[in-house]
Structure 1
Amino acid sequence: MKYKELAELYRNLEKTSSKILKTKFVAEFLKSVEKPELLEIIPYMILGKVFPDWDERELGVGEKLLIKAVSMATGIDAKEIEESIKDTGDLGESVALALKKKKQKSFFAQPLTIERVYKTLVKVAETSGERSQDRKLKLLANLFMDASPEEGKYLARTILATMRTGVAEGLLRDAISEAFKVKVELVERAFMLTSDFGYVAKVAKLEGNEGLSKVHIQVGKPIRPMLAQQAPSVKDALLEMGGKVEFEIKYDGARVQVHKDGNEVVIYSRRLENVTKSIPEVVERVRKAIKAERAIIEGELVAIGEEGRPKPFQFVLRRFRRKYNIEEMIEKIPLELNLFDALYIDGEGLIDLPLKERRTRLESIVEESESIKLAQKLVTQNVEEAERFYNEALKMGHEGLMAKRLDSVYEPGNRGKKWLKIKPTMENLDLVIIGAEWGEGRRAHVFASYLLGAYDPERGDFVPVGKVGSGFTDEDLLEFTKMLKPLIIKEEGKEVVIEPKVVVEIAYQEIQKSPKYESGFALRFPRYVSLREDKSPEEADTIEKVAQLYELQERMRGK
């Protein structure tokens, strides 16, 4: 299948802001794919990626190397291409211009195919060792040599993961449903169980609704995590759930999903990114601690400080980000894994079993040690007993408690009231940066404030809930400006529109009703807390969550 057909799809997607039209374009394209094996890769390319987030392979190509490859393919000086970016504001557009002015022609040019582009990018990702950058350069130059200006534009954006076509997971899900005339809820279910749109699209094409309904958990493919809402207090949680409740300590760490297949262990972050290589000591301990041949279990990875007290979760994220000198980080930031759920054990999927049974099965396969533990729990319906446990958790330095219904099945990706979190303060919000404003004076070269968005499922878009400018250091502002500049969609005066890719944690004094924003809400005194690299935009908080927190806030005030 020719790559120019995919480039045409990108162009059509870029031209319209209509979600209905975008879904139609993607559905028609998917329907036109004849080879089922191509469907395993095309959904990710439509999203502007090469691999799913949970695949540990990375292209390892930055802007400079890409410009060098285009220069090699076109004969145009790299500095000229760099200068062009200042005018176009987009490397993809500058690559297209360079290809239009190409000085050298290839007598052996071959039209690009999707298969060739994908296989070449896989080779780029898998190239390592001595002189690997030179080998990557040649592979990329060969692609650009045979690319048309439009193909080059979107090829460059794919390589740098800055596609800007407005296709997110929800739209792709709807397009798969429309393309193959299958139920959207079955597409959603299959994706929640496998996190693999390529696999889901192929099953939808070949086996329809029947095939999708039979999709099951697979070791090695992460499951979308079940989520929780916040309760005002221990008493409220007990009233909401009725009867006995399993209370677990809510650790201030990073949620992880552990997949064990024989001696092979893979660990995924909450964002379902493969973090195995960054935490080798945890992998080794899991091999010894889990007494099952094949298993998928969930837990919270906590950084441990002096006297065994937990450090904030950002320390765990530092471990996840570290690619070199890992041994040094093992010493500096020791980790403890607290396991709380079992989703699969030795050929049996457990998500349809009640929590009580899943916990029993988890306990049967875990051999606890100093650094691999079962999450501390208390099963009770007594308010005083539960509150004592809550206060103990806070004294130990943890965030609070999780309250879980004993009969709750595991619902991948769902944020319902079967799991509740109880914390002493209003919960911070994880929001997406959708705009920014250039600063003044000494901050004229950086973005000084950021427009925050929450996802609105009805609109299929992010709606603004406020601007944040406090909580950032000068170093943060430089880093955010560097990160966000490639994501600029539109610029008017000092204000820019940003592609919704970056998630940040925001604290605030309160949530107010507001006619100023189309969301209907505004955060009062918002303050930046941290960059949530462990969350994708799809996992950020929704406008429904903002509304729920507003109601919770009013209830806590006694109104």
Structure 2
Amino acid sequence: MTKQSKLGSFFQTNSKNAKSKQSPNEKELNGDEASPKIVDYLQLQSGTKGEILDSNLSSSTNTINVKDQNQNISDTKKNPMIIVPTNQTLNENQHKRKSARIVESDNSESEVEDEMKTKKIKYTQKESCVTQTKSPEIKQISISAKVQGIKDAKSEEKDSNGIYYSEICRMFEQVEQTTKRLEITDITAKYFFKMMSLGSDHLTKCVYLCVNQVAPEYKGIELGVGESLLLKAIASATGKNMTAVKEEVEKCGDLGLVAKNFRTNQRTLFPMPKLTINKVFDTFYEISTSTGASSQQKKVQKITSLLVSGSDIEAKFIIRSLEGKLRIGFAEKTVLTALAQASAFYHNAESKSNPDPEKMNKYSEILKHVYTQLPNYNILVEALFTHGVEKLPLVCKLVPGIPVKPMLAFPTKSVSEVLNRFKEIEFTCEYKYDGERIQIHKCEDGKVVSFSRNSENSTEKFYDILEKFEKFTNEGVSTFVIDAEVVAWDTQSQNILPFQVLSTRKRKDTKESEITVQVCLFVFDILYLNGESMLQKSLNDRRKILWESFKVSPGEFQFAEYKNLKEVDDIQIFLDQSIADNCEGLMVKVLNGEESSYEPSKRSRNWLKVLILVACIYLFIVKKDYLDGVGDSLDLVVIGGYTGKGKRTGVYGGFLLAVYDPDQEEYQAICKIGTGFSEANLKEFKEMFEKTKIEIPKSYYSFGEAEKPDVWFEPTQVSVERYI
């Protein structure tokens, strides 16, 4: 198979249908004729070369169509045929700015291949400029057209400040139209492949936009803007009043669709510069990092600026991205799979055959595994460009300062289930502490930092205990990563306090003299020591290394209590002891062999948890026994509801649950729930709670500002059995 046909097959989507719909001019643009002419609209070019706008993604105010694609370049400059919805006559300068740049490809196939070898130019795919009503299909194009398009895109990159944002919006639109995971992966992989031809910086920003981030999670820079600010920005950008915007939100339940609908019907006096991915990403970053007294106003101004410059479809995804919800069925694992596939094709461009499916699956697993150890797209994408997927494990390893996705345990229903799972396997039992998972790193520069289970930096929250690590480490320990549980600690009784006490500890900006909740670390694993990863070592070996590298400081730094047991009665006794010591239960782990390695981000059956009480939440929690005859139940009541959005428009999308405290004589909010319900359940709940709705919360409701629901209810308890 030739390079041309191989790469063409990668880009081909429903090729038969696509070709049957092509006009002669479209075929010419796609490189099927002897003298291909292609329209390059990956980049903006200033001056007389002008630009071409995305026909199906632009709003009515900035859409233009090229009527005759067969004109030569000089004729196009002199008398471009341009149609604008407003039917206004454009002056000569406007004609120049809006004329489509037609690029004639004179390169022969041999010349192209020579240039590819010397300059390592990769292939990209160009779209037809013919206006379409549906999302465009990715069509096969000639090698010469691909190479010429990439050369033009690269030459314009500096002036145009990057790739059009409409390109990624088109991909989002395609993904939104399917629910099939393989199709979503295929669409995304093709887009990433095209972006790889334009450099790692472009691809990195595209990947971050796909996962709704502007930086690695552990940086703590969140892309999430409150609804009130988005409403103001939509109103400001579209000239609507707030009442009209809110009414539209009530109708469709999607702020992104509201922005799109208002933008579609909006006209502007002068065409705005097209948005680029660089511009949108950089603005998102500025919004995410904006702080200070006037930060809210600045955020609204920046969002408004993007909406004014963007088309209707761009406005839709700008708002959704800022909400933190693209709502197109994207999962991070899908993005990683697509990235692996794109990289495989990119580095396989010179080969005569495509990577086989088995190898593609292997590449996907490699990238996912590496990402769990090094969750930083800046580093990973650059490594993919330089080394390819296969060499990633050699160049992208665990590094102190970047959190590892923690290994998780499966819940079990009984001790007998544990014994059945670990039959003829050596295992160990550890206390499961009632605290917060914490991963502690000592970096090359000597700094000690910590991260939560969700990779959030928690250094400021626990700085008082982290500052003492010098006295916890033995001589010779320079760098490390350890896994632990941090618990609230009673310094007088030397006992563990409930998690609820720990949750009252302030997150930051607290002087040591003002700290009211003391904490103690219970360390149970080590992942990295002095430049060496411990992940592949057995738990037994890791535990020995951990105990040799650190020393106990009672009430501050302790090792997790453990016993290597085999009999049911012994496990039962140890379980009872853990409860007496104010723990939740036991963790049971494989001790030796390959199955005892540390598996980042994986909920593994090599780790099992045996708990006395497990919450099964629907409309109130029933704590189920994990051991026969042990446990109790806790009834929660519904005191509030959250307005549904998207598919849940018109019903409640979630509920606030509370437990009654007889000592304080109040209902204390304990959790939110919103998953596991069918559409029929939600409709029934809507009717049910409408009867108990109240204007303001009861004086005996205790809740945090972050938990405040949209609607308050009388305390209502519903039988869970009907919904399980």
1:220 matched to 2:401: yes
Do the aligned partners of residues 221 and 159 (structure 1) sit closer, same or farther apart at CA in structure 2, a change above 3 Å counting?
same
Do the aligned partners of residues 234 and 96 (structure 1) sit closer, same or farther apart at CA in structure 2, a change above 3 Å counting?
closer
Q: 1:252 aligns with which of 427, 430, 434?
A: 434
1:421 aligned partner, one-letter code: K
Do the aligned partners of residues 405 and 134 (structure 1) sit closer, same or farther apart at CA in structure 2, a change above 3 Å counting?
same
Do the aligned partners of residues 222 and 242 (structure 1) sit closer, same or farther apart at CA in structure 2, a change above 3 Å counting?
same
Do the aligned partners of residues 310 and 2 (structure 1) sit closer, same or farther apart at CA in structure 2, a change above 3 Å counting?
same
2:599 counterpart residue number: 411
Do the aligned partners of residues 247 and 22 (structure 1) sit closer, same or farther apart at CA in structure 2, a change above 3 Å counting?
same
In structure 2, list runs of 5 or more residues that go unmatched: 1-162, 345-359, 622-633, 656-670, 682-702, 707-724
Task: Output the CA distance in 2 between the equivalents of 1:49 and 1:60.
Answer: 9
1:273 aligned partner, one-letter code: E
Task: Output the CA distance in 2 between the equivalents of 1:200 and 1:474.
Answer: 45
- 1:228 deviates by 2.4
Q: Secondary structure at the match of 2:409?
A: strand
- 1:317 deviates by 4.8
Q: Secondary structure at the match of 1:416?
A: strand
Deviation string 1:363-408 (CA, Å, 9 cap, x unpaired) is 2333433222221222455666554433221111211222223322
Task: Output the CA distance in 1 between the equivalents of 2:407 and 2:514.
Answer: 29
Q: 1:362 aligns with which of 526, 541, 546?
A: 546
Q: Secondary structure at the match of 2:324?
A: coil
In structure 1, list runs of 5 or more residues that go unmatched: 434-447, 451-469, 509-515, 518-529, 534-559
2:461 counterpart residue number: 278
1:9 matched to 2:171: yes
1:172 counterpart residue number: 335
Q: 2:365 aligns with which of 185, 202, 209?
A: 185
Q: Secondary structure at the match of 1:54?
A: helix
- Alpha carbons 2:441, 2:482 under 8 Å: kept: yes
1:301 matched to 2:481: no
1:265 aligned partner, one-letter code: V
- 1:161 deviates by 0.7
Alignment of structure 1 residues 14-413 onto 2, 5 Å: 14-33=176-195, 34-59=198-223, 61-102=225-266, 105=269, 109-181=272-344, 182=360, 183-197=363-377, 199-214=379-394, 215-231=396-412, 237=418, 240=422, 242=424, 245-261=427-443, 262-286=445-469, 289-290=472-473, 292-304=477-489, 307-317=493-503, 319=505, 326=510, 331-369=515-553, 370-381=555-566, 386-407=571-592, 408-413=596-601
- Alpha carbons 1:489, 1:497 under 8 Å: kept: no
Do the aligned partners of residues 44 and 386 (structure 1) sit closer, same or farther apart at CA in structure 2, a change above 3 Å counting?
same
Task: Output the CA distance in 1 between the equivalents of 2:603 and 2:261.
Answer: 46
Deviation string 1:274-327 (CA, Å, 9 cap, x unpaired) is 3333333343344653454322110112234684544444554554xx557756
Task: Output the CA distance in 2 between the equivalents of 1:19 and 1:75.
Answer: 39
Deviation string 1:30-75 (CA, Å, 9 cap, x unpaired) is 1111211233232231123334433311346311222223333343
Do the aligned partners of residues 165 and 315 (structure 1) sit closer, same or farther apart at CA in structure 2, a change above 3 Å counting?
farther
Deviation string 1:201-259 (CA, Å, 9 cap, x unpaired) is 44334422332232311222222222223456667646726475432211122222122
Alignment of structure 1 residues 485-500 onto 2, 5 Å: 485-486=644-645, 488-489=646-647, 491=649
2:658 counterpart residue number: none
What is the TM-score when the length of structure 1 is the normalising length? 0.72
Task: Output the CA distance in 1 between the equivalents of 2:580 and 2:472.
Answer: 28
Task: Output the CA distance in 1 between the equivalents of 2:432 and 2:183.
Answer: 43
- Alpha carbons 1:254, 1:301 under 8 Å: kept: yes
Q: Secondary structure at the match of 2:243?
A: helix
- 1:273 deviates by 2.6
Q: Secondary structure at the match of 1:297?
A: strand
- Alpha carbons 2:408, 2:607 under 8 Å: kept: yes
- Alpha carbons 2:487, 2:499 under 8 Å: kept: yes
Do the aligned partners of residues 505 and 301 (structure 1) sit closer, same or farther apart at CA in structure 2, a change above 3 Å counting?
farther
Deviates more, 1:121-130 or 1:66-75: 66-75
- 1:166 deviates by 0.5
- Alpha carbons 1:254, 1:302 under 8 Å: kept: yes
Deviates more, 1:365-374 or 1:20-29: 365-374
Alignment of structure 1 residues 383-462 onto 2, 5 Å: 386-407=571-592, 408-424=596-612, 427-428=614-615
- Alpha carbons 1:3, 1:112 under 8 Å: kept: yes
- 1:490 deviates by 5.2
Alignment of structure 1 residues 479-518 onto 2, 5 Å: 481-482=642-643, 485-486=644-645, 488-489=646-647, 491=649
- Alpha carbons 1:180, 1:204 under 8 Å: kept: yes
2:601 aligned partner, one-letter code: G
Deviation string 1:324-370 (CA, Å, 9 cap, x unpaired) is 77569974543322111110112111111111221222223334332
Deviates more, 1:23-32 or 1:117-126: 117-126
Q: Which protein is bigger by CA-based radius of gyration? A: 2
2:403 aligned partner, one-letter code: P
Higher strand content, 1 or 2: 1
- 1:111 deviates by 1.4
- 1:2 deviates by 1.1
- Alpha carbons 1:9, 1:26 under 8 Å: kept: yes
Task: Output the CA distance in 2 between the equivalents of 1:337 and 1:46.
Answer: 37
CA RMSD of aligned residues (A): 3.7
What is the TM-score when the length of structure 2 is the normalising length? 0.57
Q: Secondary structure at the match of 2:604?
A: strand
Task: Output the CA distance in 2 between the equivalents of 1:287 and 1:143.
Answer: 49
1:160 aligned partner, one-letter code: E
Task: Output the CA distance in 2 between the equivalents of 1:327 and 1:103.
Answer: 55
Do the aligned partners of residues 29 and 202 (structure 1) sit closer, same or farther apart at CA in structure 2, a change above 3 Å counting?
farther
Task: Output the CA distance in 1 between the equivalents of 2:544 and 2:460.
Answer: 30
Identify the structure with bigger relative contact order (alpha carbons < 8 Å, sequence gap 6+): 1
- Alpha carbons 2:586, 2:609 under 8 Å: kept: yes
Task: Output the CA distance in 2 between the equivalents of 1:473 and 1:232.
Answer: 26
- 1:199 deviates by 3.9
2:192 aligned partner, one-letter code: L
2:459 aligned partner, one-letter code: T
Deviates more, 1:112-121 or 1:415-424: 415-424
